[in-house]
A and B are shown apart, each in its own frame.
Chain A
Amino acid sequence: AAGVIQSPRHLIKEKRETATLKCYPIPRHDTVYWYQQGPGQDPQFLISFYEKMQSDKGSIPDRFSAQQFSDYHSELNMSSLELGDSALYFCASSINRGQWTGELFFGEGSRLTVL
């Protein structure tokens, strides 16, 4: 079965550089979520999109932006990277219309290291 696909899996950047993470949700899923998970931390919600429109916003820095495209894939853009941005970034997708179960399907994550 198709899963959530994230790329790249690993990314190393210098401070003040820019990074872009991509997420391809499971086909026919209408909602995409982005989470940031630091070492030993719980996943922190960044932003979500329902049917390509931003549906909720969490603790996402102003330096970060995200969007969902017509083919439902999503990109998280991070600029002016700081050391504290080093983390695992997870994308998840779900179905929110019709029979809602609340099940989020998570990707394998993109590990960002800022040096």
Chain B
Amino acid sequence: EDQVTQSPEALRLQEGESSSLNCSYTVSGLRGLFWYRQDPGKGPEFLFTLYSAGEEKEKERLKATLTKKESFLHITAPKPEDSATYLCAVQGGNNQGGKLIFGQGTELSVKP
């Protein structure tokens, strides 16, 4: 069964204090691993897709990396506006329109 586990559940950082979020996954035939950001009461907002081990993607202060078993979301010099819940998800198989399985998320809080 496809499964996604994220850690830590919550992370508190000071502004400028870099850190990493972890996403461990098991999936049959990885089609893609995704990172989303979710603000309270809002729908998840797409950040990155990673397709294969060794791939990296960057966007502003965020960098996502992928291995065969896990993905990391590195946050460099975070700002208070980066506070949100970060969700990792995987899609497996070759089914177009197939489901994304989400992890529980990491709730990030960045204090000024």
Residues of A at the B interface (CB closer than 8 Å) are 4, 30-31, 33, 41-45, 48-50, 55-56, 58, 88, 90, 92, 96-97, 100-109
Chain A binder among B14-22, B62-70, B102-110: B102-110
> B49 touching A101 by the CB < 8 A rule?
yes
Inter-chain CB contacts under 8 Å: number: 70
Residues 68-112 of chain B, each 1 if its beta carbon lies under 8 Å from chain A, else 0: 000000000000000000010001000111111111110000000
With contacts A56-B95, A97-B96, A102-B91 taken as known, whether A42 is within 8 angstroms of B103 at the C-beta atoms is: yes
User: How near does chain A come to B7, taking the closest CB pair, in angstroms?
Assistant: 13
Partner of A102, one of B31, B103, B105: B31
Q: Which residues of A contact B36 (CB under 8 A)?
A: 104
How far does the alpha carbon of A56 sit from the alpha carbon of B45 in the complex, in Å?
22
Report B-chain residues with C-beta under 8 Å of the C-beta of A109: 41-43
Cross-chain contact B100 with A50 (CB below 8 angstroms): no
Q: A42-B103, A103-B49 are in contact. Are A48 and B43 (CB under 8 A)?
A: no
Contact for B43 among A42, A56, A90, A96, CB less than 8 A? A90
Verify B98–A56 contact, CB threshold 8 A.
Answer: yes
The CA-CA distance from A106 to B46 in the complex, in Å, is 9
Would you mind naming 28 contact pairs between A and B with Cβ atoms under 8 Å apart? A4-B43, A31-B96, A33-B100, A42-B87, A42-B102, A42-B103, A43-B87, A45-B99, A45-B102, A48-B98, A55-B95, A55-B96, A55-B98, A58-B99, A90-B43, A92-B44, A97-B96, A100-B96, A102-B34, A102-B100, A103-B34, A103-B49, A104-B44, A105-B46, A106-B43, A107-B43, A108-B43, A109-B42
